[in-house]
A and B are shown apart, each in its own frame.
Chain A
Amino acid sequence: DAGITQSPRHKVTETGTPVTLRCHQTENHRYMYWYRQDPGHGLRLIHYSYGVKDTDKGEVSDGYSVSRSKTEDFLLTLESATSSQTSVYFCAISEGQANHEQYFGPGTRLTVT
């Protein structure tokens, strides 16, 4: 987890409220990713970024938005939280895309009641 932090680490929120999760890296890696981990589904990509202000959708992007105004920070926003967004969220970074490994943060456990 060195070089990548996520905040908050735990959060409980109510349905319909907006939520923002933060990922911060000190490695100066170009690529940053947001995943969600759910039992039986493994890891699923929500959004990713390939540079400042450059982002793209992953396979489960509905209900989520992202922003990257600085190399080191990648924010994930749940615009109006739903119970189906209860999950563990992981941020990851990598130097490149295809042949580079990813390094993961410690995760954020989000519960939407």
Chain B
Amino acid sequence: AQSVAQPEDQVNVAEGNPLTVKCTYSVSGNPYLFWYVQYPNRGLQFLLKYITGDNLVKGSYGFEAEFNKSQTSFHLKKPSALVSDSALYFCAVRDKNRDDKIIFGKGTRLHILP
């Protein structure tokens, strides 16, 4: 079955340090991959996507993600974390076997410690 996994429920990072939020996927064919962020009591906001081309994708708020086909991963990264980056992050992948609907991971809560 096609799926997306976020292996960490929570990630804690000190302010100013680099951060990584992990995502792995399992799909047939070429993956379309997305990252979204959710702040408290808000809907999800689109951060970035990989469709094709350069493996390093840059997105909003200084975030970037690297598509790694051999490791089937699409980890979200930022060189220097801000307290305001504290939020819930979702990875998502196109499900080719479900009429191209997007399926979401369970989310990773990111805590940036001052």
Given the known interface contacts A42-B105, A98-B32, A101-B34, the answer about A106 and B94 at a Cβ–Cβ threshold of 8 Å is no
A48 near B101 with CB under 8 A, answer: yes
B90 near A43 with CB under 8 A, answer: yes
> How many A residues have CB within 8 A of the partner chain?
23
Once the chains are docked, how many angstroms separate the CA of A103 from the CA of B49?
Answer: 13
Q: Which of B14-22, B39-47, B69-77, B78-86 contacts A (4 or more CB under 8 A)?
A: B39-47
Residue A41 at the chain B interface, CB threshold 8 Å: yes
A1 near B42 with CB under 8 A, answer: yes
Interface residues of B in 57-114 (CB under 8 A from A): 90, 94, 96, 99-107
Once the chains are docked, how many angstroms separate the CA of A98 from the CA of B45?
Answer: 17
Residue A16 at the chain B interface, CB threshold 8 Å: no
Once the chains are docked, how many angstroms separate the CA of A99 from the CA of B100?
Answer: 9
Residue A74 at the chain B interface, CB threshold 8 Å: no
Once the chains are docked, how many angstroms separate the CA of A76 from the CA of B11?
Answer: 34
B104 near A97 with CB under 8 A, answer: no
Once the chains are docked, how many angstroms separate the CA of A102 from the CA of B106?
Answer: 17
Q: Return B113 CB to nearest CB of chain A, in Å.
A: 23
B100 near A106 with CB under 8 A, answer: no
Q: Given contacts A43-B90, A98-B100, list 6 more A-B pairs with CB under 8 A.
A: A1-B43, A56-B99, A97-B101, A101-B49, A104-B44, A107-B41
Given the known interface contacts A48-B101, A58-B101, A98-B100, the answer about A41 and B106 at a Cβ–Cβ threshold of 8 Å is yes
